[in-house]
Amino acid sequence: MLSEILRGALISASLIIAIGAQNLFVLKQGLLKNHIFCVSAICFICDFALMSVGIFGVGTFIGSNPLITNILAILGAVFLVWYGFCAFKSAIKGTSSMQIESQVPNNNNLLKVVLATLAITLLNPHVYLDTVVIVGGIAGTLTSEQKLAFLIGAVCVSFIWFFSIGYGARLLTPLFRQKRMWIILDCIVGTVMFYIAYRLIIYVIYKN
């Protein structure tokens, strides 16, 4: 049991702890003190649900269905291009830096933040690839008890990671009082979004 928990934790960590659209989104909300608990909790719950689905059998079905994967890829690419455009627009205008100078939580509408978090999580096909297909595929040969242990290890890492970058982002607050740091972050976000969207488009074109 312990070995499967550790295995699940290591695999989850290798997939989650990387610069990606979701992690950058959570980091930015943490810097803005913008409903951090809700953002982190949504990311964790989505991971928990998708990993559970993958580990207990659906991962193979989704991974082998080209129509579903193509639809997810196209929707994800469109959303990521839009989000990347917004990030570059923010960088050009230099508006993000003003949101952190007051040292008070950002008062963006909670529903808006929840929807944005769900979109950046569920419209990104890489999330399904990592949590459902890869994690589910690796766990496919395990027994029921081993799968449960594997899931526990995987979701524990997810919980620790998202809440760590959400609440840990405040340690970077002094650095992000500088306007140019927000511009740099927005440019990084925009670049990553466009790159992932490009990879998704290439995936659809060459897979077919």
pLDDT score for 151: 92
Residues of the chain with pLDDT under 70: 18-19, 58-65, 69, 72, 94-108, 140-141, 207-208
pLDDT score for 96: 53
Which SS3 state, helix, strand or coil, does residue 103 take? coil
pLDDT score for 100: 47
Locus of tokens 């569920």: 122
Q: Note the Cα 80 to chain centre separation in Å.
A: 12
pLDDT score for 103: 44
Contact (Cβ atoms closer than 8 angstroms) between residue 119 and residue 79: yes
pLDDT score for 64: 63
Domain that holds residue 156: 2-207
**List of residues 6+ apart from 79 with CB closer than 8 A:** 119, 120, 123, 124
The total domain count for the chain is 1
For residue 85, how many other CB atoms are within 10 A of its CB?
13
Q: Note the Cα 104 to chain centre separation in Å.
A: 25
pLDDT score for 136: 76
pLDDT score for 160: 94
pLDDT score for 101: 45
Q: Where are the alpha helices (DSSP H) in 54-178?
A: 59-63, 66-93, 110-122, 125-128, 135-139, 144-168
pLDDT score for 161: 92
